[in-house]
Each structure stands twice: as structure tokens, then as C-alpha cells.
């Protein structure tokens, strides 16, 4: 839906906009007013960067929180995740130049991609331009039309936070490209697959597909990746707002930006174990066979690889129990499984800190403080890819204020965030 930039303020005050924004950000009036001002600020930034573009379209892509299954997706395993109300928003307009120009608030450079050239570019590896080019390539290789676009984004999904800022960015670009040039015909799952390919083949990060699916689809979802390219996705109709707990994400410090080697070591270790047992990934391995063959495997592989495999088998099964607990409204059981998953990640997966910088353990410190505050209530665990960044805590509502205060006191005023689960995935906003 095209809107003239000068009409955006009027549309944001409409009854239709109120419904749309409430669906994205909740019913708190103060929060809704902040979001309206955010959209208007973005419109001013877009106008300054692309003054010739008068008609625009609006897009929002959520971050995602990992609920269950830590580093299981890249082994064709099971995961639980949920979209959150921290999002990337974008204003965009098509151009007839065959160029994608994307500017993000807070970054000095603008990405400029000539869509006539859709092969990986060595100098773009590790940079956002590679993701844009990779997504355009993914659309084109599947026979979808692509075209030029001018895009301006701003984000509440902190980079390196474990809330999947890179996946949210990728899905945002894929959504804009689909809506502007394909009439919104590409499914959320296919957008996620295209985005993952861009991250793997163009950006150079061997990520799984959970992050992209979480950002693209929305709500609580269970995903089973057993069949490559055809994930089985199940919506979980659980109303977290009535659970009596607050979901708090705390950025304990450090960045994911220099940890690519640490991330890459996890799937590499797991695949090495699978290969030693004659399979490609651990999902294809019978867990009982793994334990029976452990003495022989220790002669061939190091203990870290074997421990990571043990984590996979346990966490892949645990996801089923977590999903069932949510479906049956057994939140106490769900919390027990969250705790067990977190302990497994710390002890066996070993992604709470980087072994290359073992003296720096902000995530460990955050977990220790969380356990001290919670006193065996609720649950806490490393969040997302790990090695640095965030932890997730399910905090009893009556303890949430004290928990937030303590985490902010130790890790910084902006470190801890109370989040909501967002039911809407990446979407174009229709305000009229």
C-alpha cells in the first residue's frame, strides 16, 4: 500500500492504524505513541536520503527469542521460538534503476547493490551488502521478479543481542523485495530459506534456519527441520501474558560480531560425530548407538565434539516436552525443561563463553546473578547462539521489577528488556 510521505501522520492516527499498531506493539498507550513518533522520524530520514521518492510503503520485521532447542536446527533438529515486539521497521519505494539502495539509521554508509550482478562478492563477505545481494539472488534463482528499491531502516533489535538482528534484517529485505516486486506471493517459510541461503553463501556465516523462520512467521512456533528445505512448522496457541511470569532478555555485554569461528565450531563438531557414525547430521543418528559407540568415538574425536553431540540428543528430545507442556498449559513443567536446556548448553554444548577469551564471561555472570535473584523460581538460560551477549529469564511477575533493577545495575541501564511475544511476523503495514 503506497502512502504519500506527507500523509503518514494522518494515517497513523486512523482507527485502522490503531488496530495494526496494537497488533505489533501491544495496547499500552504510551508505547503506541512512542512507536508513532518512531515511524514519523523514519519518514523524515527517508525523505532526507531519498528526496525524489514521494510515495512509500511501510514494513515491520520482529526479532525472535529462542524458546527451546539450542543449536539443534543446523542438525535437522527441533526448535521452539517466538517473535518479539522489538522490531526493524522500514520505509521503501521501488525505483526503475535496477539498483537496491539501503540506508540504516546509525550507520554512515549506504549499501548500493546493482541487481545485474548477483554472484557473491569477496569484499562484501561479513557485511550487510552481501545479505542484500544474496537475497536478490535467491529470488531471481527461483524465477521471481526482482527490481530496484530505495529503503531506509531503523531497528530496536540490538546488534549482537541474540535476538537475531541479522535474521530480522534479512527477512526485512526479503519482505520488501517480495511486496514491491512480487505482490507478496512468497511464503514466510520460503523467504526464510532465501534469507538463510544469503547468510550462508554470501555473508559467510553457517547459520541454521530457526532465526529466519522466527522473524518471518511470528508467534510461538515449533519447527522440525528433519526434511531439508521442508521444515514442519506448528503454531503453539499459548498465551504467555497469563502465565504469571515476565520474559526478560538481558544483554550482558560483548558482541557476536567477532565470534563467527565459535559459531562455526558447533555444527562442525556435531557433523564430525555424525560422520563418524556414518551419517551427515546428528538427527540421522540413533542416540542409543552414540552412547554405545562412545568408547570408540573417543579414540577418533575430541571430548568437546562428543559433549556437543550429547547436548543435541538431549535438547532435540526436550523440545517435544517443552511444546507439550505449553500446549497443556503446564508452565511449571515448561520452566523445568528450560532450566535443563540451559544447564545442558552450559555444560555440554559449551556456548556460554568463548574458550579463546575464557577470562571474559559476562553471560556466566548474568546467569549466576539471575539464579541468585530467582532462588529456584522461574528459569534462566543462555539465549540464542551464545558465546557472548544475552541471557533469557522467566521471572515471576512480582520479582520482575527487582530483577530488572539488579540486571541494569550490573550490566547497564539499557541492558535488560521486558519483551512481549508478537503474533505477527514480518509484514507490510496496511493503514488504510
Q: Tens of pLDDT along 174-205? A: 999 999 999 999 999 999 999 999 999 999 98
Q: Are 42 and 180 in a shared domain? A: yes
Residue among 154, 158, 100 nearest 132 (CA): 100
In the numeric block, the cell 556466566 is attached to 364
Whether 300 shows a pLDDT value over 80: the answer reads yes
Residues 191 and 245 in one domain: no
Task: Kindly state whether residues 20 and 75 are assigned to the same domain.
Answer: yes
Instruction: Residue 19: count other Cβ atoms within 10 Å of its Cβ.
Output: 10
Could you write out the three-class secondary structure of 205-221?
CCCCCHHHHHHHHCCEE
CA-CA-CA-CA torsion sign (300, 304, 307, 309): negative
Query: Residue 181: its pLDDT value, please?
Result: 97
Grid cell for residue 249: 532478555
Residue reference for cell 543418528: 285
d(CA 269, CA 41): 46
Residue owning grid cell 535488560: 416
Q: Which residue has the cell 526464510?
A: 192
pLDDT at 209: 81
Residues 229 and 376 in one domain: no
Per-residue model confidence (pLDDT) at position 231: 85
Residue 158 shares a structural domain with residue 256? no
The pLDDT of 47-75, averaged and rounded, is 94
Q: Average per-residue pLDDT in the chain?
A: 93
In this prediction, residue 35 carries a pLDDT of 96
Q: How far is CA 221 from the centre of its chain?
A: 13
In which residue are the cell numbers 545479505 written? Answer: 131
Same domain, 44 and 120: yes
Q: How confident is the model at residue 164 (pLDDT cuts 50, 70, 90)?
A: confident
Does one domain contain both 231 and 271?
A: no
Which pLDDT belongs to residue 255? Answer: 62
Q: Please check the confidence at residue 30 and state whether its pLDDT lies above 80.
A: yes
Residue 223 has pLDDT above 80, yes or no: yes
Q: What is the pLDDT of residues 71-80, one digit of tens each?
A: 998 999 999 9
pLDDT at 160: 58
Asked whether residue 375 falls in the same domain as residue 333, the answer is yes
What are the DSSP calls for 19-85, one per residue? HHHHHHH-S-HHHHHHHHHHHHHHHHHHHHH-TT--EEEEEEEEEEEEEE-SS-GGGT-EEEEEEEE
**Which is higher by pLDDT, 317 or 219?**
317
How large a percentage of the chain has pLDDT more than 70?
98
Cell of 57: 510503503
- CATH code of the domain covering residue 146: 3.30.230.10
Among 170, 150, 58, 55, residue whose Cα is nearest residue 99: 150
- CATH code of the domain containing 255: 3.30.70.890
Residue-range definition of the domain harbouring residue 159: 3-235+422-428
Q: Are residues 204 and 80 in the same domain?
A: yes
The pLDDT, as a whole number, for residue 259 is 83
Indicate if 23 and 106 belong to the same structural domain: yes
Q: Do the beta carbons of residue 2 and residue 57 sit within 8 Å?
A: yes
Residues 27 and 58 occupy one common structural domain: yes
In this structure, what C-alpha cell is assigned to residue 43?
Answer: 519518514
Identify the pLDDT of residue 281. 97
Query: Quick check: 125 and 203 in contact, CB under 8 A?
Result: yes
Per-residue confidence band for 253, with pLDDT thresholds at 50, 70 and 90: confident
Give residue-wise pLDDT tens across range 335-361. Answer: 999 999 999 999 999 999 988 888 999
Residues 187 and 268 in one domain: no
- Model confidence pTM above 0.85: no
Please tell me which residue, 150 or 64, carries the higher pLDDT value: 150
Is residue 151 pLDDT above 90, yes or no? yes
How does pLDDT run across 381-406, given as a tens digit for each residue? 998 888 888 899 999 999 999 999 99
Structural domain total, the chain: 2
**Neighbour count for residue 394 (Cβ, 10 Å):** 22
Amino acid at each position: 500500500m503506497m502512502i504519500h510521505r506527507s500523509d503518514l501522520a494522518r494515517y497513523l492516527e486512523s482507527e485502522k492504524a490503531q488496530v495494526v499498531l496494537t497488533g505489533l506493539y501491544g495496547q499500552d498507550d504510551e508505547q503506541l505513541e512512542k512507536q508513532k513518533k518512531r515511524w514519523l522520524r523514519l519518514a523524515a530520514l527517508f525523505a532526507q536520503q531519498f528526496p525524489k521518492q514521494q510515495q512509500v510503503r511501510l514494513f515491520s520485521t520482529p526479532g525472535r527469542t529462542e524458546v527451546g532447542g539450542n543449536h539443534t536446527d543446523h542438525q535437522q533438529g527441533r526448535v521452539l521460538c517466538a517473535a518479539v515486539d522489538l522490531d526493524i521497521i522500514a520505509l521503501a519505494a521501488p525505483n526503475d534503476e535496477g539498483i537496491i539502495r539501503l540506508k540504516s539509521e546509525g550507520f554512515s554508509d549506504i549499501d548500493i547493490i546493482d541487481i545485474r550482478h548477483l554472484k557473491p562478492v569477496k569484499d562484501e563477505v561479513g557485511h550487510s551488502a552481501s545479505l542484500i545481494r544474496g537475497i536478490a539472488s535467491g529470488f531471481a534463482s527461483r524465477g521471481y521478479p526482482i527490481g530496484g528499491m530505495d529503503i531506509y531502516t531503523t531497528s530496536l533489535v540490538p546488534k549482537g543481542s541474540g535476538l537475531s538482528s541479522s535474521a530480522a534484517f534479512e527477512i526485512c529485505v526479503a519482505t520488501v523485495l517480495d511486496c514491491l516486486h512480487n505482490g507478496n506471493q512468497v511464503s514466510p517459510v520460503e523467504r526464510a530459506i532465501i534469507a538463510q541461503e544469503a547468510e550462508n553463501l554470501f555473508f559467510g556465516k553457517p547459520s541454521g534456519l530457526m532465526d529466519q523462520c522466527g522473524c518471518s512467521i511470528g508467534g510461538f512456533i515449533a519447527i522440525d527441520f528433519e526434511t531439508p528445505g521442508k521444515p514442519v512448522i506448528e503454531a503453539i496457541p499459548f498465551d504467555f501474558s497469563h502465565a504469571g511470569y515476565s520474559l526478560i532478555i538481558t544483554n550482558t555485554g560483548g558482541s557476536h560480531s567477532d565470534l563467527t569461528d565459535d559459531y562455526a565450531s558447533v555444527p562442525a563438531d556435531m557433523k564430525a560425530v555424525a560422520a563418524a557414525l556414518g551419517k551427515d547430521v546428528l538427527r540421522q543418528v540413533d542416540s542409543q548407538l552414540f552412547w554405545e559407540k562412545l568408547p570408540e568415538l573417543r579414540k577418533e574425536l575430541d571430548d568437546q565434539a562428543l559433549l556437543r553431540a550429547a547436548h543435541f540428543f538431549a535438547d532435540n528430545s526436550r523440545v517435544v516436552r517443552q511444546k507439550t507442556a505449553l500446549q497443556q498449559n503446564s508452565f511449571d513443567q515448561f520452566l523445568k525443561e528450560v532450566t535443563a536446556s540451559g544447564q545442558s548448553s552450559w555444560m555440554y554444548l559449551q556456548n556460554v563463553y568463548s574458550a579463546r577469551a575464557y577470562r571474559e564471561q559476562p553471560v556466566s555472570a548474568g546467569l549466576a546473578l539471575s539464579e541468585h535473584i530467582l532462588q529456584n523460581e522461574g528459569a534462566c538460560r543462555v539465549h540464542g547462539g551464545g558465546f557472548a551477549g544475552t541471557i533469557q529469564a522467566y521471572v515471576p511477575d512480582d520479582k520482575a521489577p527487582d530483577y530488572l533493577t539488579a540486571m541494569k545495575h550490573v550490566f547497564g541501564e539499557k541492558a535488560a528488556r521486558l519483551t512481549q511475544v508478537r503474533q505477527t511476523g514480518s509484514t507490510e503495514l496496511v493503514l488504510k
